[in-house]
Amino acid sequence: MPLPMVHLAVAIRLHEPRGAEPSPAFLLGSIAPDAIHMRPGAGRGEKHGAHLLDRPATGDRDPIAELRAGYREADAALRDFADGYAAHLLTDRLWNVLLERDYKPRLPPDLDPAERRALYYQETDQLDFNLYHRSPWRPRVWALLGQAPPPEFAPLLAAEEIGRWRDRTLAWFEAPEKEPRITPLYLTDAAIHAFIERATDAVVAALADGREAPTTAR
């Protein structure tokens, strides 16, 4: 699945047409589903739960739309957070369709599963660091994220988990030892930028349900 900088890049692109920037709450929501990694002992079931993968869409039910609908009457910050959360989930689903299914068959066939996973995260980590270094909006986004108070988002995540993930994200890219310092061979910067554009279009279409979405900084 895409790493934090890809999700933040989509959040920025969603707001560019109106010359706006995302609210701190929207930015925090856009990385929040992965805060499940901060829960001790969290396994596949918990991760699927936080990403609503345990609630498959049917012909008349869309779990992401239902999540957003539950916050339509909430205060502005919590509503923005839920919209950012939804944008993350939609982006994850598109990543699987557009990138992962094309990427995996191109890996060397003699790699065992552990080696394939390690290579995947080396390459995606490097591409995320490339976005961190080269995105002119990154300093402002870091400042906005730092302002975002983590909400209780029951039953999916606790505020403490969200806050710890935000702090980890802010610190991760500023630790030089975390950067793989490789030239990716199977994923490219161009592929990531093309994905961000397509994901933005798809998320805009999915969120356009009759109310202003996504919301902007206040």
pTM, rounded to two decimals: 0.92
Beta bridge partners of 157: 153
Position of tokens 């919209």?
83
Coil vs helix vs strand at 48: helix
Average pLDDT over residues 156-184: 97
pLDDT of residue 110: 93
pLDDT class of 124 with cuts at 50, 70, 90: very high
Angle at 125 between CA 191 and CA 46, to 5 degrees: 105
pLDDT class of 58 with cuts at 50, 70, 90: confident
Average pLDDT over residues 40-63: 90
In whole angstroms, give the CA distance from residue 28 to residue 19. Answer: 20
Answer yes or no: are the C-beta atoms of 84 and 32 closer than 8 Å. yes
pLDDT class of 79 with cuts at 50, 70, 90: very high
pLDDT class of 209 with cuts at 50, 70, 90: low
What 8-state DSSP symbol labels residue 118? H
Give percent above pLDDT 90 in the chain.
79
